[in-house]
Amino acid sequence: MAKALDISLTEEQRITLLEESARKSRFMLIGVIAALAVFVVITLFLLAMQLMNPPSSFADAATYQQIIKEIEQQEKQNKNWYKQVDTLRLELDNSQASVFKALFFEQEENYQLHLQALKQGMRDLAHMVPGSRTWLEIYNEKMDAALARSEARMKKLAQIQTGEQPGIEAVPLPVRPVPINISD
């Protein structure tokens, strides 16, 4: 159909139509360029204004006073915490592992002295009583085992460094022997 119009039109009419179409296209192109130019100018203006006047982040007086009060409360709490830390440090110094270590050494030494005294007393008693002395051998074995465990505990205590926690080692319990009947 467009070809049909082209055939019926004269040369002058075709040129006129083309010139009108070109003029409309030019106006539209100029309008789009003008709109883009206005947009770019406005954007540049807004960016320049924003750079010249950055947004302020100042607080008002009421907020400032509230923050000052909170800081003062935090400082008071910090002073209380420091007092508590000093109190706890004093308690820690009084409960040092070295103090307990020394007490345990003394306890083990006393325990060994007690066991040796019992062993000696039983030996003396065995010499006063007539009859078999197998019970004394069994008694001495048990006392020697108790003394050996006490000496092992003392060695462990000597190895403990007071700044560190020692590893936990289980001490096996002795098997309870079947009692022996002793008769004369």
Domain ranges of the chain: 2-52, 93-159
More confident residue, 20 or 84: 20
Provide φ and ψ at 131, rounded to 5°: 120, -170
Q: How confident is the model at residue 44 (pLDDT cuts 50, 70, 90)?
A: very high
The predicted structure's pLDDT at residue 164:
47
Q: How far is 9 from 12, CA to CA, in rounded Å?
A: 8
User: What is the value of pTM for the model shown?
Assistant: 0.39
List the beta strands (DSSP E) in 11-93: none
Dihedral of the alpha carbons of 24, 26, 29, 35, in degrees to the nearest 10: -90
The predicted structure's pLDDT at residue 56:
63
Quick one: which of 84, 184, 60, 70 has its CA closest to 134?
184
- pLDDT tens for residues 118-142? 999 888 888 888 888 888 888 999 9
Residue 36: both structure tokens together:
């883009």
Per DSSP, the residues of 83-111 read HHHHHHHHHHHHT-HHHHHHHHHHHHHHH
